[in-house]
Amino acid sequence: MSRINGGYFQFSPVFGEVQRNLETILKAIHAFEGHLLVFPELALSGYQFLSKEEVRELADDIPSGPTIKVLEDAVRGRDLHVVVGLAERDHGRLYNSAVLIGPIGYIGTYRKTHVFFEETLWFAPGDTGFLVWDIGRARVGVLVCFDWFFPEAARSLALKGADILCHPGNLVLPYCPDAMVTRCLENRVFAITANRIGREQRGEKPALQFIGMSEIVAPNGRILCRSSEKDQELRLCEIDIAEARDKRINPYNDLLKDRRPHWYAS
Ligand code: ACM
Protein backbone atom coordinates (compact mmCIF):
# COMPACT_ATOMS: atom_id res chain seq x y z
CA MET A 1 0.00 0.00 0.00
CA SER A 2 2.54 2.54 -1.09
CA ARG A 3 0.14 4.93 -2.81
CA ILE A 4 -1.92 7.68 -1.27
CA ASN A 5 -4.18 10.22 -2.91
CA GLY A 6 -3.20 13.57 -1.46
CA GLY A 7 -4.68 16.95 -2.17
CA TYR A 8 -5.40 20.47 -1.06
CA PHE A 9 -8.19 23.01 -1.01
CA GLN A 10 -7.22 26.49 -2.16
CA PHE A 11 -9.82 29.09 -1.19
CA SER A 12 -10.30 32.56 0.22
CA PRO A 13 -11.29 32.52 3.92
CA VAL A 14 -13.45 35.51 4.83
CA PHE A 15 -11.87 37.50 7.66
CA GLY A 16 -13.62 36.98 11.01
CA GLU A 17 -16.31 34.64 9.64
CA VAL A 18 -15.29 31.44 11.41
CA GLN A 19 -18.65 29.71 10.90
CA ARG A 20 -18.83 30.56 7.21
CA ASN A 21 -15.23 29.44 6.62
CA LEU A 22 -15.89 26.23 8.51
CA GLU A 23 -18.87 25.51 6.26
CA THR A 24 -16.69 26.06 3.16
CA ILE A 25 -14.10 23.68 4.61
CA LEU A 26 -16.76 21.05 5.39
CA LYS A 27 -18.06 21.18 1.81
CA ALA A 28 -14.52 20.55 0.52
CA ILE A 29 -14.08 17.63 2.94
CA HIS A 30 -17.34 16.10 1.75
CA ALA A 31 -16.44 16.54 -1.93
CA PHE A 32 -12.87 15.20 -1.60
CA GLU A 33 -12.25 11.66 -2.81
CA GLY A 34 -8.66 11.15 -1.62
CA HIS A 35 -6.92 10.15 1.62
CA LEU A 36 -5.11 13.29 2.75
CA LEU A 37 -6.44 16.84 2.38
CA VAL A 38 -4.51 19.97 3.37
CA PHE A 39 -6.13 23.37 3.99
CA PRO A 40 -4.46 26.80 4.18
CA GLU A 41 -2.98 28.52 7.23
CA LEU A 42 -5.49 30.36 9.48
CA ALA A 43 -8.24 28.90 7.33
CA LEU A 44 -10.98 29.63 9.89
CA SER A 45 -10.19 33.20 10.93
CA GLY A 46 -8.47 34.95 8.05
CA TYR A 47 -5.05 36.54 8.35
CA GLN A 48 -4.84 40.31 8.78
CA PHE A 49 -5.55 40.84 12.48
CA LEU A 50 -5.65 44.29 14.07
CA SER A 51 -5.04 43.28 17.68
CA LYS A 52 -4.25 40.40 19.97
CA GLU A 53 -7.81 40.59 21.33
CA GLU A 54 -9.14 39.98 17.84
CA VAL A 55 -6.93 36.90 17.44
CA ARG A 56 -8.05 35.63 20.85
CA GLU A 57 -11.71 35.98 19.89
CA LEU A 58 -11.23 34.12 16.61
CA ALA A 59 -8.92 31.43 18.02
CA ASP A 60 -9.99 28.04 19.29
CA ASP A 61 -8.93 25.75 22.13
CA ILE A 62 -7.28 22.63 20.77
CA PRO A 63 -8.52 19.93 20.96
CA SER A 64 -11.48 20.84 23.17
CA GLY A 65 -12.85 23.71 21.04
CA PRO A 66 -16.01 23.51 18.94
CA THR A 67 -14.23 23.73 15.57
CA ILE A 68 -12.19 20.62 16.23
CA LYS A 69 -15.33 18.70 17.16
CA VAL A 70 -17.04 19.69 13.88
CA LEU A 71 -13.96 18.70 11.85
CA GLU A 72 -13.75 15.39 13.71
CA ASP A 73 -17.38 14.66 12.87
CA ALA A 74 -16.74 15.42 9.19
CA VAL A 75 -13.80 13.00 8.93
CA ARG A 76 -14.84 10.27 11.37
CA GLY A 77 -15.13 6.80 9.83
CA ARG A 78 -13.70 7.83 6.45
CA ASP A 79 -10.33 6.74 5.05
CA LEU A 80 -9.26 10.38 5.26
CA HIS A 81 -6.91 12.65 7.20
CA VAL A 82 -7.10 16.44 7.09
CA VAL A 83 -4.60 19.15 8.06
CA VAL A 84 -6.20 22.51 8.86
CA GLY A 85 -4.46 25.75 9.83
CA LEU A 86 -6.09 27.75 12.63
CA ALA A 87 -5.37 30.18 15.46
CA GLU A 88 -4.95 28.42 18.80
CA ARG A 89 -5.50 29.71 22.36
CA ASP A 90 -3.65 28.01 25.17
CA HIS A 91 -3.24 29.39 28.71
CA GLY A 92 -3.25 33.00 27.60
CA ARG A 93 -0.91 32.36 24.70
CA LEU A 94 -1.78 32.37 21.02
CA TYR A 95 -0.25 30.12 18.39
CA ASN A 96 -0.51 29.91 14.62
CA SER A 97 -1.22 26.19 14.52
CA ALA A 98 -2.27 23.34 12.27
CA VAL A 99 -4.19 20.28 13.42
CA LEU A 100 -4.16 16.76 12.03
CA ILE A 101 -7.48 14.95 12.26
CA GLY A 102 -8.22 11.39 11.08
CA PRO A 103 -10.89 8.70 11.05
CA ILE A 104 -10.74 8.25 14.81
CA GLY A 105 -10.61 11.97 15.59
CA TYR A 106 -8.03 14.54 16.64
CA ILE A 107 -4.43 13.32 16.29
CA GLY A 108 -2.15 16.27 17.00
CA THR A 109 -1.14 19.90 16.65
CA TYR A 110 1.88 21.61 15.15
CA ARG A 111 2.53 25.21 16.22
CA LYS A 112 4.24 27.38 13.60
CA THR A 113 7.88 27.77 14.57
CA HIS A 114 8.85 30.76 12.43
CA VAL A 115 6.18 33.42 12.78
CA PHE A 116 6.16 36.01 9.99
CA PHE A 117 5.94 39.82 9.97
CA GLU A 118 3.05 41.13 12.15
CA GLU A 119 2.26 37.59 13.30
CA THR A 120 5.12 38.26 15.72
CA LEU A 121 2.82 40.79 17.45
CA TRP A 122 0.08 38.24 18.11
CA PHE A 123 1.49 34.74 18.10
CA ALA A 124 4.11 33.09 20.27
CA PRO A 125 6.70 31.10 18.28
CA GLY A 126 5.69 27.46 18.24
CA ASP A 127 6.96 25.18 20.99
CA THR A 128 6.05 21.79 19.55
CA GLY A 129 9.14 21.23 17.43
CA PHE A 130 8.76 19.51 14.08
CA LEU A 131 6.37 16.60 14.31
CA VAL A 132 5.81 13.54 12.15
CA TRP A 133 2.77 11.29 12.41
CA ASP A 134 2.33 7.85 10.90
CA ILE A 135 -1.17 7.83 9.41
CA GLY A 136 -0.90 4.32 7.99
CA ARG A 137 -0.69 5.13 4.30
CA ALA A 138 2.19 7.59 4.87
CA ARG A 139 4.24 9.43 7.47
CA VAL A 140 3.28 13.09 7.43
CA GLY A 141 5.01 16.15 8.85
CA VAL A 142 3.61 19.67 9.07
CA LEU A 143 5.14 23.07 8.27
CA VAL A 144 3.16 26.31 8.33
CA CYS A 145 3.83 28.89 5.62
CA PHE A 146 7.02 30.89 6.42
CA ASP A 147 8.60 27.75 7.92
CA TRP A 148 9.51 26.91 4.31
CA PHE A 149 12.10 29.74 4.38
CA PHE A 150 14.19 27.80 6.91
CA PRO A 151 15.66 24.68 5.25
CA GLU A 152 16.22 23.17 8.69
CA ALA A 153 12.48 22.81 9.15
CA ALA A 154 11.88 20.57 6.14
CA ARG A 155 15.16 18.78 6.85
CA SER A 156 14.11 18.05 10.44
CA LEU A 157 10.88 16.49 9.18
CA ALA A 158 12.77 14.41 6.60
CA LEU A 159 15.22 13.21 9.27
CA LYS A 160 12.25 12.22 11.42
CA GLY A 161 10.92 10.09 8.56
CA ALA A 162 8.27 12.27 6.90
CA ASP A 163 7.21 11.15 3.42
CA ILE A 164 4.94 14.13 2.84
CA LEU A 165 5.28 17.71 4.10
CA CYS A 166 1.79 19.09 4.69
CA HIS A 167 2.19 22.82 4.30
CA PRO A 168 -0.71 25.19 5.00
CA GLY A 169 0.14 28.69 3.78
CA ASN A 170 -1.06 32.28 3.49
CA LEU A 171 1.71 33.23 1.09
CA VAL A 172 2.08 36.81 -0.02
CA LEU A 173 5.65 36.73 -1.42
CA PRO A 174 6.18 35.02 -4.78
CA TYR A 175 9.12 32.72 -3.92
CA CYS A 176 7.69 29.72 -2.15
CA PRO A 177 6.07 27.70 -4.95
CA ASP A 178 9.38 27.44 -6.83
CA ALA A 179 11.42 27.08 -3.63
CA MET A 180 9.40 24.03 -2.59
CA VAL A 181 10.88 22.21 -5.59
CA THR A 182 14.27 22.55 -3.88
CA ARG A 183 12.89 21.60 -0.45
CA CYS A 184 11.53 18.40 -1.98
CA LEU A 185 14.67 17.61 -3.97
CA GLU A 186 17.04 18.21 -1.08
CA ASN A 187 14.99 15.98 1.23
CA ARG A 188 13.46 13.56 -1.26
CA VAL A 189 9.99 14.13 0.14
CA PHE A 190 6.61 15.12 -1.28
CA ALA A 191 5.11 18.47 -0.29
CA ILE A 192 1.51 19.57 -0.40
CA THR A 193 1.40 23.35 -0.14
CA ALA A 194 -2.16 24.59 0.42
CA ASN A 195 -2.16 28.32 -0.02
CA ARG A 196 -5.05 30.76 0.08
CA ILE A 197 -6.26 33.20 -2.55
CA GLY A 198 -7.97 36.59 -2.25
CA ARG A 199 -7.16 39.94 -0.71
CA GLU A 200 -7.45 41.35 2.80
CA GLN A 201 -7.31 44.98 3.78
CA ARG A 202 -8.22 45.89 7.33
CA GLY A 203 -8.01 49.14 9.29
CA GLU A 204 -5.25 51.39 7.99
CA LYS A 205 -3.04 48.51 6.93
CA PRO A 206 -1.80 48.03 3.36
CA ALA A 207 -3.74 45.39 1.44
CA LEU A 208 -2.44 41.84 1.35
CA GLN A 209 -2.82 39.90 -1.88
CA PHE A 210 -2.41 36.17 -1.41
CA ILE A 211 -0.69 34.36 -4.28
CA GLY A 212 -2.56 31.05 -4.58
CA MET A 213 -0.39 28.66 -6.64
CA SER A 214 -0.98 25.81 -4.24
CA GLU A 215 0.87 22.75 -5.40
CA ILE A 216 2.01 19.18 -4.91
CA VAL A 217 5.69 18.51 -5.55
CA ALA A 218 7.43 15.12 -5.80
CA PRO A 219 10.81 14.03 -4.35
CA ASN A 220 12.48 14.44 -7.75
CA GLY A 221 11.29 18.05 -7.94
CA ARG A 222 8.45 17.38 -10.37
CA ILE A 223 5.44 19.65 -9.86
CA LEU A 224 2.56 17.14 -9.93
CA CYS A 225 -0.04 19.89 -9.92
CA ARG A 226 -0.07 23.63 -9.36
CA SER A 227 -3.12 25.88 -9.03
CA SER A 228 -3.85 29.29 -10.44
CA GLU A 229 -3.27 32.54 -8.55
CA LYS A 230 -6.98 33.37 -8.29
CA ASP A 231 -9.29 30.37 -8.38
CA GLN A 232 -10.79 28.26 -5.65
CA GLU A 233 -9.59 24.72 -6.33
CA LEU A 234 -9.88 21.29 -4.76
CA ARG A 235 -7.07 19.18 -6.24
CA LEU A 236 -5.81 15.67 -5.80
CA CYS A 237 -2.77 13.69 -7.02
CA GLU A 238 -1.62 10.14 -6.62
CA ILE A 239 1.52 10.02 -4.49
CA ASP A 240 3.84 6.99 -4.50
CA ILE A 241 5.31 6.88 -1.01
CA ALA A 242 8.09 4.51 -2.15
CA GLU A 243 9.65 7.49 -3.99
CA ALA A 244 10.07 9.34 -0.70
CA ARG A 245 11.40 6.31 1.19
CA ASP A 246 14.25 5.80 -1.30
CA LYS A 247 16.90 8.37 -0.36
CA ARG A 248 19.47 7.13 -2.88
CA ILE A 249 20.49 9.76 -5.45
CA ASN A 250 22.59 7.31 -7.48
CA PRO A 251 24.39 4.00 -6.71
CA TYR A 252 27.03 5.91 -4.70
CA ASN A 253 25.07 8.61 -2.86
CA ASP A 254 22.36 8.51 -0.25
CA LEU A 255 20.86 11.84 0.67
CA LEU A 256 20.63 11.33 4.42
CA LYS A 257 23.56 8.97 4.96
CA ASP A 258 25.95 11.29 3.07
CA ARG A 259 25.31 14.21 5.39
CA ARG A 260 28.33 15.44 7.37
CA PRO A 261 26.74 17.16 10.36
CA HIS A 262 30.11 17.47 12.08
CA TRP A 263 31.05 20.15 9.55
CA TYR A 264 27.79 22.03 9.57
CA ALA A 265 27.43 25.26 11.56
CA SER A 266 24.56 25.46 14.02
C1 ACM B 1 3.33 33.55 6.14
O2 ACM B 1 4.07 32.92 6.87
N3 ACM B 1 2.04 33.60 6.35
C4 ACM B 1 3.87 34.28 4.99
- Does domain 3-240 correspond to CATH entry 3.40.50.450? no
Ligand 1 pocket residue status of 145, Cβ below 6 Å:
yes
The pLDDT value given to residue 1: 60
- Cα atoms in the Cβ-side hemisphere of radius 13 Å centred on 46: 22
Is this model's pTM higher than 0.95 or not? yes
Between the CA of 60 and the centroid of ligand 1 the distance, in Å, is 20
Closest ligand 1 atom, CA of 144? Answer: 2
Instruction: Give the pLDDT score at 53.
Output: 97
Average confidence (pLDDT) per 10 residues, the chain, 266 residues: 93 98 98 98 98 98 97 97 98 97 98 98 98 98 98 98 98 97 98 98 97 98 98 98 97 97 96
C-alpha distances (whole Å) from 106 to each of 14, 65, 74, 112 are 25, 11, 11, 18
Residue ranges covered by each domain of the chain: 3-240
Q: Is the CB of 132 under 6 A from ligand 1?
A: no
Which atom of ligand 1 has the smallest separation from the CA of 169?
Answer: 3
Residue whose CA is at the smallest distance from ligand 1 atom 2:
146
By the 8 A CB rule, do 190 and 151 touch? no
Task: Tell me how far the alpha carbon of residue 254 lies from the centroid of ligand 1, in angstroms.
Answer: 32
CB-ligand 1 contact for 193 (6 Å cutoff): no
In angstroms, what is the span from residue 68 Cα to ligand 1's centroid?
23
Cβ burial of 22 (10 Å; 0-12, 13-18, 19+) is buried
